[in-house]
Structure formats: C-alpha cells, structure tokens
A = this chain, B = another copy of it.
Amino acid sequence: MIEATPPADALAAAERHLDSLRRNHTIDMTRGKPAPEQLDLSDELLANMSPGACVGEGGDYRNYGLGTGIPEAKRLMGAYLEMPPEHTIVAGNSSLTLMHDTLVGAVLAGVPGGAGPWGRDGAGVKFICPAPGYDRHFAICAKLGIEMLPVDMHADGPDMDAVEKLAGDDPSVKGMWCVPKYSNPTGAVYADAVVERLANMSCAAPDFRIMWDDAYAVHHLSDERPIVKHIFKACTAAGNGDRPYLFASTSKITYAGAGLAALAASPDNIADIARKMSFATIGPDKITQLRHVKFLGGMDGLAAHMEKHAALIRPKFAAAHGVLQARLGGTGMATWTAPKGGYFISADLEDGNAAAVVRLTGEAGVALVPAGSTFPYGRDPRDRNVRIAPTMPSVEEVTQAMEVFCACVQVVSLRRRVAAQC
C-alpha cells in the first residue's frame, strides 16, 4: 500500500501516524532484562535457607573457603555446561566478570600453551568478533586494548571461511567470542559443521582461545530443542582441548542480579584460572550457591523452570513479530529474525537507516540500545542493525513500542525515498 502511494504522501501519512503514537513515558527495550513476573518464578530462593542448613559437602558455607565454588553447585553448573564438576568453577553472580577476569588474566599472565602474557606480545592482541554480537563482549576487548576483527554472523554461526583465515594467518589473533545457541542478538544456533571447524581449525597462536558464552543454552521459545555440538568434546577430539572456555550463568534462569556464574574448561585451563582467582578471593558467596542448588535441583528441575519463563516470554515475542509483520511485512524496509530462543529480535533495516530510526524511536518514547552497539567499536558498517529486547515490558507495552518502532522505520525509509526523488 505504501508503495502504491507517492512517497511524499506516504511520508506525510507515516509522520502523522507516528505523531499519534508518541508517548509521555519511555518504554525501555534497551537490554535483555527479565520481567518482574519472570523474577517472581524464583522467589523461593529468598527463603529456602535456614540456620543449620548452611553446612554442605564442603563444610560450613557461611565461612571462608572453597575458592572455586561448592561441590553441589559445581555439579549443577557442570551439568548445565555438560562438563565434569571438577573442571567447573562456580563464582558470583556475573559470568561477564568471569569472562572479563579470564581475559585480564591472559593479558597479565598468559594462559596454558602460550609463551607468556598476551599483553607483552609486541604485535598487540586481536580477537575475532562475530557481528552483530554482544556489546559487552566487545567492550571488554576495547577496555583491554584488544583489537577487534569483525566477521559476519550467519544463521548457522560465524562466517567460518573468514574465521579460519584470521585465526590461521596471524599469531596475534588470540581468540574469539561465541554465543553458540540463540546468539545475541540474531538468535543464530551454531551448526555442527561450524563447531567442528572451530575445534579443528589451525590457529597461528598456540594459545588461541574460544570464549564460548553459553548464555542461552536452555532459554527456548519454541518446542524445538536444538542441540549444539559440544565445543569442549569437539576440541578435545581434535587435540585442542585447551582451546575453549565455557561460560554460563543463571542470570536469565533465576535472578538477573543475584544468580550464579560458571566457567568450565580443560583441567589445565581450570587449574590456571583457579590459581589466578586464588589471589583475588577467598571464595564466592556459597550461601547463594546452595540456595540455587536447593531451588533448581538439577537439570530436570531447571528445564521445568525454563518452561515457565518461556510461557511468559513467548507472547511478547509473538506480539513484536505480529506488529513487525503487519507494519513492515512486504515493505522491503526491514527484515528480522524469528529466534527459537534467547532474548532478542535482530532487525536489519535498509542500509544507513538504523541510527536515524533509533534516534527517532527514542524521541517518540521507546528506548532502544544505540545503533551500532551490536558491532565492534559501536560501528555497524551498514548502519542497519537494531536489537530489540522484548522481555522486560508487558505484552501491551511491547505492542505499543513495536508500533512506534515500525512507524519510525517507515518514516525514516520514506524520508530517504523522498530525498532520493528530489
């Protein structure tokens, strides 16, 4: 319909429509935050400990000690990552901290198999960054002075031709970020062939590391249960067992702000990280760890719990997709993902439109993460990607916010078409 109308008239209509949608308060769709109803699902955590119940297999969890976590939590998070408990570290509430500290440790002191601290390598350190990706991963690299090398994300994982070339040619390319299942933001699920290539590829750096952020392993939105080939097993079979660090957290399982984080890896890697951690802490909050074990039980209890999350989240994704399809379907103004899990919809607009749309959307009362955030250095080379995070607002708010977003996409697209005519 829009196409049949002269662009100037369509633009005027779209601008009137957007005006009618303007809001006095802001709907926040910037971050992948759980909604209060999701947090409520875990409120049993608040009161499932009592005096006398703080003694576990590792002793009195109120006291100092157990620097790499309590045995019970290692079994739980080891099961989540499909790794042996003894090669699993369970820490505080942030897997981002584990990732950050792991790279800090590599920069300052090196990792097993390497020639020493990454930072002392005169050539600098480079990291492969599939993009669009997670802005906080990229921010860690930026902070540490690690040069980021973007490679395209496809529906089945990163562009492996590009990854193999970068990793194979340059010994200063020391690692890579991966979100293997329901990737942030595209929802991509790594194909078996991608995992196999990551495990087997020849790396110029003997201490090349894959930062395998398995943040959404159990965060399904559909009835499908895609299985990603196990990176550690694949790497080990390829003789590269020290290559991957596996990360997870319960931030989007229990409480986003008060969950558990975990790291699993090869015995040598875990010994290295445990030693480095021992200088920084006498132990994590073991009471919170035991609360989680009591609440979640094991992987069966965890899976049942995730069904309740899915029931709350699915209608929000459906509402967002409904508006996208109704307003932008067939317009050529945008494509978007229909992820089977995770926390995001990734929309690609016409090239050059993302920054303008995010700005206009913000002015109309809907906060989106800044355009470019999903790319290294905040630079989307085509200025087209927008990450939509529909979990936190209510279904009604998601609908309203997506109406605003779609109206903004139309206005910006039509403005460009009108300008092109002049």
A interface residues, Cβ below 8 angstroms from B: 31, 33-34, 36, 39-40, 42-43, 46-47, 49-51, 53-54, 60-66, 92-94, 96-97, 100-101, 104, 107-109, 119, 136, 139-140, 143-144, 251, 255-258, 276, 279-288
Contact = CB atoms under 8 A, between A and B. Distances in A.
Contacts of A101: 280
Secondary structure of the A contact surface, majority rule: loop
25 contacts: A31-B64, A36-B60, A36-B62, A36-B63, A39-B63, A40-B51, A42-B62, A46-B49, A46-B50, A63-B255, A63-B257, A92-B92, A96-B281, A96-B282, A97-B280, A104-B108, A108-B119, A139-B279, A143-B279, A255-B287, A257-B284, A257-B285, A258-B285, A258-B287, A288-B288
Nearest to A290: B258
Number of copies: 2
A46 B284 CA distance: 16
Given A97-B280, A139-B279, A33 B257 contact: no
Contacts of A257: 61-66, 282-287
Given A49-B46, A258-B288, A97 B281 contact: yes
A101 B371 CA distance: 31
A49 B46 CA distance: 6
Nearest to A144: B108
Contacts of A34: 63
Contacts of A258: 61-62, 285-288
Contacts of A65: 257
Question: Shortest 7 CB-CB distances between A and B: which pairs?
Answer: A100-B280, A43-B51, A258-B287, A39-B62, A62-B255, A94-B281, A143-B279
A63 B31 CA distance: 11
A245 B51 CA distance: 36
A134 B287 CA distance: 26
A276 B64 CA distance: 27
A54 B63 contact: no
Contacts of A63: 33-34, 36, 39, 255-257
Given A31-B64, A64-B33, A46 B287 contact: yes
